[in-house]
Amino acid sequence: GAQGGFGRPAPLPQTGWERLSELWRRDEQRQYPEEAVNIAKSAFTAGVVGWLYGGLPAFVSARKAFIESSHGEIFQNRADAVQSAHRAGLRSFVRYGWRWSWRVAAFATMFNVVSTSLSAYRDKTTISNFAAAGAFTGALFRVHLGLQGLAGGIVFGTAFGVPVGGLLMAMYGLAGETLQEKRNRERRELYEQKLAEWQSRLSMTEILGETENNAQGRAEMEGAREL
C-alpha cells in the first residue's frame, strides 16, 4: 500500500532466491511473467505433439489389424465396415495417444521449469543450464528403474538438453538478448520509471508543504497585527 502510494519503489531483486520467487509471482497487472507463460504454452504443445506421436501410429496399426482380422465377419454394408475400422483405430488413438501425451508434457514441463529456474537464480542463460535441466529431468523419469536406469536417464537427459539449449541460445543470439536479459532490462526500466514518479511526487509534496507553511505563517502574522 505504501509502495503503491507515496512509498519508495521496492528495490530490484538482488539474490537468486528473490529472482526465483519473482519468476512465479503475478505483477501489478495480475499477469504472470513471460517465462511462466511460455512454460504453460510449451506444456500444451508438448502434450499435443506427444498425443499425435503416440496416437497416429496406433490408429493406423489398429485399423489395419481390424481389417486383417475381420475378413470373416459380416457387415451390413461397406460404410458399416469402414466405420467399425475407424472406431477400432480411434480407440487405439485415444489410448496410446494419452499415454504419450502426458509423459511428453510432463518431461517438457519439468525440463523448462528447471532450466528457467536455473537461469533466474544464476541471472544468466547458458547451455549448462539446459544440460543440467535435461540430466535432472531424465534422472527423475528413470529413477524407479534403479541405479542403471538413473544413469541412463542422466545420459539421455543431458544428450537432449545440450542440443535444445544450443538451438535456443542461437535463437536468442538472433533476437539480440535472452529472456533473462529481456526481463532484467524491462524490470530495470520499470523501476527507473517508478523511481522518477516517486521523486516527482515527493518534490510536489515538499512544495505543497512549504506553500502551506508559508500561508499559515502569513495568517499568523496577520492575526498578530489585528491583535
pTM of the model: 0.73
For residue 208, the model assigns a pLDDT of: 64
Look at residues 167, 160, 118, 164 and name the one whose alpha carbon lies nearest to residue 142.
Answer: 160
What pLDDT score does 180 carry? 78
Cβ neighbours of 227 (radius 10 Å): 5
- Note the pLDDT of residue 1: 38
Q: Distance between terminal CA atoms of the chain? A: 46
> Helix, strand, coil: what percent of the chain each, to 5?
80, 0, 20
Q: What is the pLDDT of residue 163?
A: 93
The string of pLDDT tens digits covering residues 96-106 is 999 999 999 99
CB of 9 closer than 8 Å to CB of 3: yes
pLDDT score, position 207? 67
- 192: cell is 527507473
Q: What's the pLDDT score for residue 132? A: 94
pLDDT tens digit sequence for 33-85: 888 899 999 999 999 999 999 999 998 888 888 777 766 455 555 666 667 77
Per the CB < 8 A criterion, the answer to whether 165 and 127 are in contact is: yes
The span from the CA of 9 to the CA of 3, in Å, is 6
Q: Which residues of the chain have pLDDT under 70?
A: 1-7, 70-82, 206-227
> Look-up: residue for cell 539480440?
176
- Identify the helix (H) or strand (E) that includes residue 220: helix 179-226
Q: What residues contact residue 89 under an 8 Å CB cut-off, 6+ apart?
A: 58, 59, 60, 62, 63, 66
